[in-house]
Amino acid sequence: MAGTLHVELVSADRVVWSGEATRVIARTIAGDVGVLPGHAPLLSVLAEGVVDIQSDQGETWIAAVADGFLSVANNRVSILSEYAELSHEIDLEKARADLERARGAGEDDTEAMAALRVAEARIRAAEHAS
């Protein structure tokens, strides 16, 4: 379909979202990347954060993601993440409790810091959808 992107957002255990979109915004380790139809090929490392997908039907899909990869080629976008969850699936109160628990783990623990960034992304995604 001309003027659209075929997008696949995949976590370690499932396809989280798949369909046609007019734009995708994702956070990489180099900063935020916006992808529109006709985008040049790209392979980047995904950072913990929020992915914003504008479907070809005008719907906005927001997802919290952990680290992974973002690939763009021939109007196809693949977002592969260890963890991904759509904003409407997130329990905001549980996400806030997870954030507090992660804050208490200490900054010297790499896994705890990753959990903290994922908890923050989950809250941003859930609040964005509210």
Cross-strand pairs, 68: 46, 81
Cα(55)–Cα(66) distance, rounded to whole angstroms? 22
Same domain, 15 and 68: yes
Same domain, 12 and 56: yes
What sign results for the dihedral spanned by CA atoms 111, 9, 40, 22?
Answer: negative
Report the domain count for the chain: 2
The 3-state DSSP class for residue 125 equals helix
The pLDDT value recorded for residue 1 is 44
Cα(44)–Cα(69) distance, rounded to whole angstroms? 6
pTM: 0.89
Q: Determine what percent of the chain is predicted with pLDDT higher than 70.
A: 95
Q: At what angle do helices 92-103 and 110-129 cross, to 10 degrees?
A: 150
In contact, 73 and 61? CB cutoff 8 Å: no
5-10/76-81 β-pairing = parallel
Same domain, 111 and 81: no
Q: What is the pLDDT of residues 14-25, one digit of tens each?
A: 999 999 999 999
Polymer length in residues for the chain: 130
- Residue carrying structure tokens 């693949």: 78
What is the domain extent for residue 116?
90-129
Same domain, 81 and 110: no
What does the pLDDT average to over 95-101? Answer: 89
